[in-house]
């Protein structure tokens, strides 16, 4: 259970970092859109590809969201994500 709890904490922290990145004035618009789509996709009450479709139904969450986040992070200038991580650490001590 400790591993699951640690993973959940890391995911929660990453979402907080991405929230700060979305608000950062130097984050490009396309990166904001991609991150917003990733967060929205996770929070959607339904899947674009239903889970009852073998393999593909479960893989969509494991492929689409990371691909959107990866693409967004590639568009963000160096240092913005790191400064947002530091800002989050400062806020939570």
Using only C-alpha atoms, what is the Rg of the chain? 15
What residue spans define the domains of the chain? 2-92
pLDDT score recorded for residue 81: 93
pLDDT score recorded for residue 69: 92
- Each residue's pLDDT expressed in tens, for the chain with a length of 93 residues: 688 888 888 888 888 998 899 999 999 999 999 998 888 887 776 777 777 777 777 777 788 889 999 999 999 998 999 999 999 999 876
* pTM strictly above 0.85: no
Contact residues for 69 (Cβ-Cβ < 8 A; gap 6+): 18, 34, 35, 38
pLDDT score recorded for residue 1: 66
CB 88, CB 17: distance < 8 Å = yes
pLDDT score recorded for residue 54: 76
pLDDT score recorded for residue 45: 67
Q: Give the separation between CA 9 and CA 55, rounded to whole angstroms.
A: 27
């Amino acid at each position: 259970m400790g591993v699951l709890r640690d993973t959940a904490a890391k995911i929660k922290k990453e979402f907080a970092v991405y929230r700060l990145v979305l608000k950062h004035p130097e984050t490009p618009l396309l990166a904001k859109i991609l991150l917003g789509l990733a967060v929205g996709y996770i929070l959607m009450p339904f899947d674009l590809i239903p889970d009852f479709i073998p393999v593909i139904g479960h893989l969509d969450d494991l492929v689409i969201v990371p691909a959107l986040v990866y693409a967004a992070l590639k568009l963000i200038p160096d240092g913005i994500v790191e400064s947002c991580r530091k800002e989050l650490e400062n806020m939570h001590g």
